[in-house]
């Protein structure tokens, strides 16, 4: 399963999701609570989170963290790590 999380409001996320044609859900984290929990933001007052990806195994454990994500190369990198 693939999920994306953004700090933008639901309406903005929906427009972006539809424009990009993502084949996965894009969740909202306006409060940055999830971003803080996963280390993408230092605190809930940060305003925005860094673009970070995680490969999470079926057991719920993080298998790999991708701290620097380049959108053009990222899918191939993740698929190679599966």
CATH number of domain containing 33: 3.40.30.10
Residue 73: is its pLDDT beyond 90?
Answer: no
Instruction: Give residue-wise pLDDT tens across range 16-63.
Output: 999 988 888 999 999 999 999 999 999 999 989 998 999 999 999 999
- Report residue 74's pLDDT band, with 50, 70 and 90 as the boundaries: confident
Phi, psi of 39 (to 5 degrees): 80, 15
Query: pTM (2 decimals)?
Result: 0.77
Q: Exposed, middle or buried, 11 (CB in 10 Å: 0-12/13-18/19+)?
A: exposed
Q: Domains in the chain: how many in total?
A: 1
DSSP 52: -
Q: Exposed, middle or buried, 77 (CB in 10 Å: 0-12/13-18/19+)?
A: middle
Range of the domain at 69: 3-81
- Report residue 72's pLDDT band, with 50, 70 and 90 as the boundaries: confident
pLDDT reported for residue 34: 94
């Amino acid at each position: 399963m693939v999920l994306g999380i953004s700090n933008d409001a639901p309406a903005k996320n929906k427009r972006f999701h539809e424009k990009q044609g993502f084949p996965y859900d894009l969740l909202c984290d306006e409060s940055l609570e999830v971003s803080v929990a996963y280390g993408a933001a230092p605190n809930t007052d940060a305003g925005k989170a860094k673009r970070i990806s995680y490969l999470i195994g079926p057991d719920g454990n993080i298998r790999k963290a991708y701290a620097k994500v380049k959108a053009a190369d990222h899918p191939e990198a993740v698929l190679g790590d599966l």
